[in-house]
A and B are shown apart, each in its own frame.
Chain A
Amino acid sequence: MSASQIAECVRDGETPLGPARSALVAISEAESGPEALNAFVSLNPESALTGASSGLLAGVPVAIKDNLATTDLPTTCGSKILDGHVFPFEATVVRRLREAGGVIVGKTNLDEFAMGSSTENSAFGPTLNPHDRDRVPGGSSGGSAAAVAAGYTPIALGSDTGGSVRQPASFCGVVGIKPTYGRVSRYGLVAFASSLDQVGTFGRTVRDASLALEVISGHDPRDSTSVQREVPDFSGAGERGVAGLRIGVPDEYLPAALDPGVRRLINEALERLVDRGAVVSRVSLPHTNYAIPTYYVLAPAEASSNLARYDGARFGVRGEGRDIGDMYRATRDAFGKEVKRRIMLGTYVLSAGYYDEYYGTAQRARGLIAQDFEAVFKDVDVLFTPTAPTPAFNLGENTDDPVAMYLSDVFTVTANLAGIPGMSVPIGELGGLPVGGQFLAPWWEEQTMIAAAGALEASFAEEST
């Protein structure tokens, strides 16, 4: 059942904890069996479930990425450094879900501190792709994407810093939304790169993912970067249709080297949209090439500072040492390889003498990338691109090649750099593996991309009936 159907049943009198109890039983069974995906880092015991019989998400089981603070379950960020650490406060988005009647069933696996594109960088082992257990689910929100794709929960929360919701949604064949920067509170989201991080949602349908987004959106005085704006009707936006909608297809997102299968699926999807009344045109975002290098300067720079607090002095795991320097080193040795790599990178690009060359240049490039979008959105209402260059890759395929891994975010990082909303929606399969298409919309225009994604989803649904 979809989230909206469950909520309707519960509001109509079904026992509020029923759906979550069934979900827990199914998850425990599947995750302890031979087909286990390792999607969860921790599960709530049945006795700890709480839910409500009213609200937009009444009784809906929800999975939460394990970098969002919860007060009942630990929040590990997929890191040994926070192993078992229970936070004394709750993330605003988790509170909003619960207040809307949602039932938190567990915390999902992720790349350590959300740094990665495959969920292989977790201290708790990789998560597997439900469509093919030899393949990665994408990342960093791989656990949430897999949980929704496997049918464990109808919706889940993730976080998206460079594509960490959209890319796993694409790999797992579900819908994933990253809203406009500032739409959703980051309070209680453990920071990776604060100026890029945004909490996003997963659903099996456009409606469910949008419904979850509607619930978690809105200004929060605790997050100074969250914006005071009314939250539109996201959940209904998927039914608006695309008649007359101007869809731009940026050349830079369909490079010559693109997987021909992915290109074909993109073109087919565009035909479906045209059939429903959309107007498609080719556009250009000339600074797209700078996105990956820009991202891999800015995100590590912020991360190197954000992760300084894991010093063993006040919380989490403390390494032993004879003096303070030893204690820091022993404590911070618990970080995984990729996290250490990014801290080193970030420390370097901010250091005296290099700041202007790296951080300064990257900030300017970031401005140019945002200007590209500003310009193109004068001519089109929404953009359509592949979410990722390929379908899910094999476990271990990119683990020794960080640059190859980084390039799987090539189509998604631009939205984070510009702060615009983006979402991935399934557009077909290649060799049994799902492929997602990405809609990008202007700042605060989530409804437009939800409408486009809804229309595409509807055209696939028509076909299968």
Chain B
Amino acid sequence: MTWEAVIGIEVHAQLRTARKLFCADEVIFGDAPNTHVCPVCLGLPGALPATNPEAVRLAVRSALSLGCTVHPESVWARKNYFYPDLPKGYQITQFDRPIATDGTVVFDTDDGEKSVRIRRVHMEEDAGKSLHDRIPGSTAVDLNRAGTPLVEIVTEPDLHSPEDTRAFLSALKQTLEYVEVSDCNMEEGSLRADANISLRPAGSSGLGVKTEIKNVNSFSGIQRALEIEIERQRHVLDGGGTIQQQTLLWDDHKGKVRPMRSKEESHDYRYFPDPDLPPLRVAPEAIREAEKALPELPRARRYRLQNELGLAPYDAGVLTQSRVTADYFEDVSAQVGDAKVAANWMMGPVQALMNDRGYDAITLPVRPAQLADLIGLVLDGTVSEGGAKKVLAAIAEEGGEPRAVVQAMGLLQVRDEGQLFSWVDATLESHPTEADRYRGGEKKILGFLMGQVMKRSKGQADPRRVNELLVDRLDR
């Protein structure tokens, strides 16, 4: 039988706040264990949560960027379970009334545009970290992460292949980065994704029994885990077996999934509204303002660069990969007045420089105005393209205004007609044979003559003008 995979995703994204969701501790990754804790996030008796409005603002922004409806009133709930890294014995989350529902993410695949419906976005606090390898024979607990604000984004089961799932996740990550709500760093755990997967006979519309894959820490890992799990399910179903609903843990090293022990998943979370927190209210006006304040999202921007600035789809894709790169590019492009030239510079020399030195569009020492000036100097013939690349590297290294650096580096192109004619005439005099061959129809000898003029000028002649003058003299 032919099977169709049905995949749904749950993403946890850490919100980029300075402080935790319910207390004033700083959110910092990688500090010494238990140095950013207080009575609230330690869950000490008598301590109470107070919601960080910045986290709510970012959650609203996240939800809006995914096309969700944000609800003016949502409810905090307690999810009860015992675990050493869960200080209160419950997690404050949202259950039956999340902050936002009903969104859509559209993304591009090799087979064209696809879309995934977002069922819900809810806010919650993160747990701490259990460290099983710090103290032999014991589990150590670091609560620096406890209370960090997260949004959980849950999709409808609208995905049908591991490749699409990966493309969707990339699009989701890109969107969250664009609206600056999350760093989306999977290594630091600021973005985590779990997948639900089931198979059904192709063409049918029911849903099969699903398994949930957890503990995946890269998009490629998700794709691999799904490929392996789909194969496993297909094998079971083809053999006439049935799938057991269970949670599977992905082991990245072995490239395998293993079932979670039933003890680990047999939780009854006993959700109920958290009596320490009134319903979360977001003024409809604040929602409208947040909507207005949303930046242009990646797909829209890419299409605008294609349609309005005339960039090739590939170029537009690369340049809108991150918001800072796109901002940088558009700034340069507007000043240069030629998007294609600006795009070539961005994707060529600038990209090379960034790769080489580990810069991004924010840390790159060459600011958009400097790059635009430099490109302007190339366009008006003040400096050659090769010269300008050297100038770009020099500015990145030591700073300076492009024109001054061009001058200081002796890269100004000579455009004085008298000087250029004298080089051209001298060259033609010393190469009469080649000049005759050109006049006899061997047009490609022009390149050789050009080279001779440039050599005579020690590379300082403006090659475009030299070309014109040479042709002018030869055709006379």
Q: Which residue of B lies closest to A307 (CB)?
A: B89
In this assembly, does B29 line the interface, its C-beta being within 8 Å of a C-beta of chain A?
Answer: no
In the complex, chain B residues whose CB is within 8 Å of the CB of A352: 268, 270
Q: Are B278 and A350 in contact (CB under 8 A)?
A: no
Q: Are B276 and A309 in contact (CB under 8 A)?
A: no
- Picked from A89, A195, A221, A347, the residue with its CB within 8 Å of the CB of B46 is A89
Residue of B nearest to A312 (CB): B84
Q: Is the CB of A225 within 8 A of B276?
A: yes
- Residues of B contacting A307 in the complex (Cβ-Cβ under 8 angstroms): 89
**Shortest Cβ gap from B326 to chain A (Å):** 40
Q: Which residues of B contact A2 (CB under 8 A)?
A: none
The size bracket of the interface on B is: 20 to 34
Binary CB contact string for chain B from 134 to 177 against chain A (1 if under 8 A, 0 otherwise): 00000101000000000000000000000000000000000000
Query: Which of B37-45, B117-125, B396-404 makes up part of the contact surface?
Result: B37-45
CB contacts under 8 Å to B, within A60-82, are: 68-69, 75, 77, 82
A324 at the interface (CB under 8 A from B): yes
Of the candidates A69, A75, A194, A351, which one forms a contact with B270 in the assembled complex, judged by CB atoms under 8 Å apart? Answer: A351
A190, B270: Cβ atoms under 8 Å? no
Contacts of A347 in B (CB 8 A): 270
A91 touches B46 (CB 8 A): yes
- Residue pairs across A and B with CB atoms within 8 Å: the count is 103
Asked if B270 and A225 sit within 8 Å, CB to CB, the answer is: no
Contacts A88-B39, A190-B45, A225-B276; is A350 near B80 (CB within 8 Å)?
Answer: yes
Asked if A351 and B277 make an inter-chain contact with CB atoms under 8 angstroms apart, the answer reads no
Interface residues of A in 166-218 (CB under 8 A from B): 186-191, 193-195
Residues of B contacting A315 with CB < 8 Å?
A: 42, 44-45
Return the CB mask of B29-63 against A: 1 if under 8 Å, else 0.
00000000001001111111111000000000000
Is B90 among interface residues, defined by CB-CB distance under 8 A?
yes
Does the CB pair B44–A305 fall under 8 Å? Answer: no
Enumerate chain A residues within 8 angstroms of B48, measured Cβ to Cβ.
186-187, 222-224
Closest to A187 in B: B48
Contacts of B42 in A (CB 8 A): 314-315
Contacts of B50 in A (CB 8 A): 221-224
What distance in Å separates the Cβ of B415 from its nearest Cβ neighbour in chain A? Answer: 69
Kindly report which residue of chain B lies nearest to residue A313, judged by CB atoms.
B84
Confirm or deny: A296 has a beta carbon within 8 angstroms of a beta carbon on chain B. Answer: no
- Decide if B141 touches A313 in the complex (CB within 8 Å): yes
CB neighbours of A186 from chain B (8 A): 48
Task: Encode A291-315 as 1/0 by CB contact (under 8 A) with B.
Answer: 0000000000110110111110111
Q: Does B210 contact A (CB under 8 A)?
A: no
A335 located at the interface, meaning its Cβ lies under 8 Å from any Cβ of chain B in the complex: no
B278/A224 in contact, CB under 8 A: yes
The one of B46, B87, B270 that contacts A189, using a Cβ cutoff of 8 Å: B46
Given known contacts A225-B276, A352-B268, A324 and B46 CB-to-CB distance under 8 angstroms: no
A444 on interface, CB distance cutoff 8 Å: no
Q: A355 at the A/B interface (Cβ < 8 Å)? A: yes
**What's the Cα separation between A76 and B275 when bound, in Å?**
23
Q: Which residues of B contact A40 (CB under 8 A)?
A: none
Q: Tell me if B's interface is mostly helix, strand, loop or mixed.
A: loop
- Which positions 279-338 of chain B face chain A at CB distance < 8 Å? none
A350 pairs with B272, CB closer than 8 A: yes
Which residues of B in the span 6-48 have a Cβ within 8 Å of any Cβ on A? 39, 42-48
A77, A87, A89, A194: the one within 8 Å of B275 (CB): A194
Task: Specify which of B43, B48, B51, B80 lies most central, judged by the most chain A CB atoms within 10 Å of its CB.
Answer: B48
B270 touches A309 (CB 8 A): no
Contacts A302-B275, A305-B80, A308-B89 given: A350-B270 contact, CB under 8 Å? yes
Contacting A at CB under 8 A, from B70-103, are 78, 80, 82, 84, 87-90
**Given A224-B278, A350-B80; A301-B47 close (CB under 8 Å):** no
Instruction: Determine if A328 is an interface residue (Cβ-Cβ < 8 Å).
Output: yes
Residues of A within 8 A of B78 (CB): 305
**Which chain A residues numbered 222 to 263 have a C-beta less than 8 Å away from chain B?**
222-225
Residues of A within 8 Å of B87, CB to CB, are 309, 313-314
Across the interface, do A305 and B270 meet the contact criterion of CB distance under 8 Å? yes
The interface residues of chain A lying within 8 Å CB-to-CB of B44 are 87-89, 309, 314-315
CA–CA, A263 to B84, complex, Å?
A: 53
B49 touching A224, Cβ below 8 Å: yes
Q: State the CA gap A304–B272 with chains docked (Å).
A: 11
Q: Are A324 and B84 in contact (CB under 8 A)?
A: yes
- How far in angstroms is the closest Cβ of chain A from B440? 92
Flag whether A359 is at the interface (Cβ < 8 A): yes
| Smallest beta-carbon distance B364→chain A, Å | 42
Q: Please, how many angstroms separate the alpha-carbon atoms of A87 and B277 in the complex?
A: 23
B89 touches A305 (CB 8 A): yes
Given A311-B84, A314-B87, also A191-B270 (CB < 8 A): no
Given A311-B82, A313-B84, A328-B82, do A305 and B47 touch, yes or no (CB 8 Å)? Answer: no
Q: Which residues of B contact A309 (CB under 8 A)?
A: 43-45, 87-89
Q: Is B82's CB under 8 angstroms from A188's CB?
A: no
Q: In the bound complex, what is the Cα–Cα distance between A302 and B272 (angstroms)?
A: 9
Docked complex Cα distance between A69 and B90 (Å):
22
- Nearest-neighbour CB distance to chain B for A153, whole angstroms, equals 22
Name the distance in Å between A282's Cβ and chain B's nearest Cβ: 34
Q: Could you say which residues of chain B place their CB within 8 Å of the CB of A194? A: 275-276
Q: CA of A64 to CA of B48 in the docked complex: distance in angstroms? A: 20
The reply to whether B47 and A187 form a contact with Cβ atoms under 8 Å apart is: yes
Q: How far is the CA of A310 from the CA of B42 in the complex (A)?
A: 12
User: When A305-B78, A309-B89, A311-B84 are in contact, do A89 and B268 touch as well, CB less than 8 Å?
Assistant: no
The answer to whether B272 and A355 touch across the interface, beta carbons within 8 angstroms, is: yes
CA distance A406 to B80 in the complex (A): 27
- Cα distance A75–B42 in the bound complex, in angstroms: 17
Closest to A308 in B: B89
- Docked Cα-Cα span, A430 to B47, in Å, equals 42
Q: How far is the CB of A280 from chain B (nearest CB, A)?
A: 36
Chain B residues with CB under 8 Å of A313's CB are 84, 87, 141
A310-363 residues with Cβ-Cβ distance < 8 A to B are 310-311, 313-315, 324, 328, 347, 350-352, 355, 359
Q: Mark A350-393, 1 if CB is under 8 A from B, else 0.
A: 11100100010000000000000000000000000000000000
Q: How far is the CA of A307 from the CA of B43 in the complex (A)?
A: 11
Residues of A within 8 A of B45 (CB): 69, 75, 77, 82, 87, 190-191, 309-310, 315
- Annotate A271-296 by CB proximity to B: 1 below 8 A, 0 otherwise: 00000000000000000000000000
Distance, CA A409 to CA B268, complexed state (A)? 32
The answer to whether A187 touches B46 (Cβ under 8 A) is yes
- What's the nearest-Cβ distance from chain A to residue B149, in Å? 16
Which B residues are CB-close (under 8 A) to A224? 48-51, 276-278
CB closest chain-B residue, reference A359: B272
A310 / chain B contacts, CB cutoff of 8 Å: 45
In the bound complex, CA of A180 to CA of B309 (Å): 64
Which residues of B have CB within 8 Å of A350? 80, 270-272
Q: Enumerate chain A residues within 8 angstroms of B139, measured Cβ to Cβ.
A: 324
User: Are the C-beta atoms of A351 and B268 separated by less than 8 Å?
Assistant: yes
Q: List 24 A-B contacts (CB under 8 A).
A: A75-B46, A82-B45, A87-B46, A88-B39, A89-B39, A89-B47, A91-B46, A188-B46, A188-B47, A190-B46, A191-B276, A221-B50, A222-B48, A224-B48, A224-B49, A224-B51, A224-B277, A225-B276, A225-B277, A308-B80, A308-B89, A313-B141, A350-B271, A355-B272
Q: A194-B275, A224-B276 are in contact. List 16 more A-B contacts (CB 8 A).
A: A68-B46, A87-B39, A87-B44, A191-B45, A194-B276, A221-B50, A222-B50, A223-B48, A223-B50, A224-B48, A305-B80, A305-B270, A308-B80, A308-B90, A311-B89, A328-B82
Per CB-CB distance, the 10 closest pairs between chain A and chain B, nearest first, are: A308-B89, A195-B275, A350-B270, A194-B275, A190-B45, A188-B46, A69-B46, A309-B43, A352-B268, A313-B84
- Write the residues of chain A forming the contact surface with B, with a CB cutoff of 8 angstroms: 68-69, 75, 77, 82, 87-89, 91, 186-191, 193-195, 221-225, 301-302, 304-305, 307-311, 313-315, 324, 328, 347, 350-352, 355, 359
